[in-house]
Chains A and B, each alone.
Chain A
Amino acid sequence: MTPKKKRFYLLFSAFTFLCFIVGTILIVLQDNILFFYTPSEIFQKNLKKNEKVRLGGLVEENSIVRNDIKISFTITDLKKEIEVNYEGILPDLFREGQGVIVKGYLRNDIFQATEVLAKHDENYMPPEIKKKLEN
């Protein structure tokens, strides 16, 4: 084997080995990398009392109830839904039908949120096109 080939195989095997290690770590840590749980996932988890988690899903249409600065709405993943209570400032993109992520804890099957983040979707288009698509 020429030194050149030797260097090539050495490099190649080192990289492959690293891929396996990183892949294993990522699979093992999968639960921690997940930024949020969907409503169906959260019911399957045995959460400790007042354990802080993130919950993500769509804001259900016509579910937003505003009461002064208190706001409550329902988050759904089209299979299960959870009622959410929140007090504070909402991001620009928060609206019905929008994907959101809320941080907080579950109490009596109602989610008490301390932080609300809006999720953007992957579609970018001018408003006129959006209107045309809807009609």
Chain B
Amino acid sequence: MINFKIFKYANPAKFLNLCDKIFIYLLVSMIAFLFFGLYQGFFNSPEDYQQGNLVRIMYVHVPSAWMALMIYSSIAVASCIYLINKHLLANIFCKSASLIGASFTLIALVTGSIWGKPTWGTWWVWDARITSMLILFFLYLGHMTIFNFSENTTKSGQAAALLAILGFINIPIIKFSVDWWNTLHQPASVIKLSGPSIHSSMLIPLLITALGFFLYFLVVLIIRMRSEITNEKINNLSFTE
């Protein structure tokens, strides 16, 4: 198939080398973006004309939900690469990223619930957006469980990759659920054809926080992938003994 240049880093040793080089920059910029974005969002952005201060929950809820979808999509892509090209590193990525994605999904569900109570008047409803987000959470849990079935990451990775790819169909359903059906959720505000319907004084802190969340994902991902690679090395050593 196609040989991408990026596959040069498919070698775990080379990959870890690259990670070492960029890790400190990622960490510093993550702290800067998170701190600045959240500070702007919580203390330095205007109240909403309808929700007042409650709109500030958006600065943690929306980036978490975006990250949950983004991480799942990247796991699905990596799963394809693993199943088709058999790159070990893609499998390690899937195994490491899953818990991060599940955490962000949980955050999105819980903060959404806390946001829903005072604004909509309910903690939980079974509307299409919330239900499909809950399904995403279960997909993440299933994905992690499959990896725990056996010590052999190569074997369990194939089953997990298949689940991740088939479950990817849920992602467009989550994204477009608010447009396709009547839901309690409002239609999309930021990512839509007609441009964002959210005022720039709120949009900018939101995007900065979202970037901070993304950098956080990369930082935790590097830690977890290093941990998984070490685990593989341990398994190989004890296997050859």
Interface residues of A (CB under 8 A from B): 4-5, 7-8, 11, 14-15, 18-19, 22, 26, 30, 33-38, 56, 89-94, 101, 115-130
Contact = CB atoms under 8 A, between A and B. Distances in A.
A11 B165 contact: yes
Contact of A35 (B182, B187, B199): B182
B46 to A, nearest CB: 3
A119 B199 contact: no
Given A35-B184, A124-B189, A126-B48, A91 B121 contact: yes
Nearest to B167: A18
Contacts of B120: 91, 93, 117-120
Interface in B27-51: 46-51
B118 to A, nearest CB: 5
B6 to A, nearest CB: 18
A86 B138 CA distance: 37
Contact of A120 (B51, B83, B165, B199): B51
B184 A4 contact: no
Interface residues of B, number: 41
Given A15-B166, A124-B55, A119 B186 contact: yes
Nearest to B131: A33
Nearest to A130: B49
B181 A30 contact: yes
A122 to B, nearest CB: 4
Interface in B93-130: 118-122, 125-128
Contact of A92 (B1, B119, B126): B119
Contact of A34 (B55, B85, B181): B181
Contacts of B58: 124
Given A93-B120, A118-B121, A125-B48, A35 B128 contact: yes
A15 B166 CA distance: 6
A55 B61 CA distance: 27
Given A4-B84, A122-B188, A56 B48 contact: no
A26 B169 CA distance: 12
Contacts of A15: 165-166, 168-169
Given A124-B55, A126-B48, A127-B47, A11 B121 contact: no
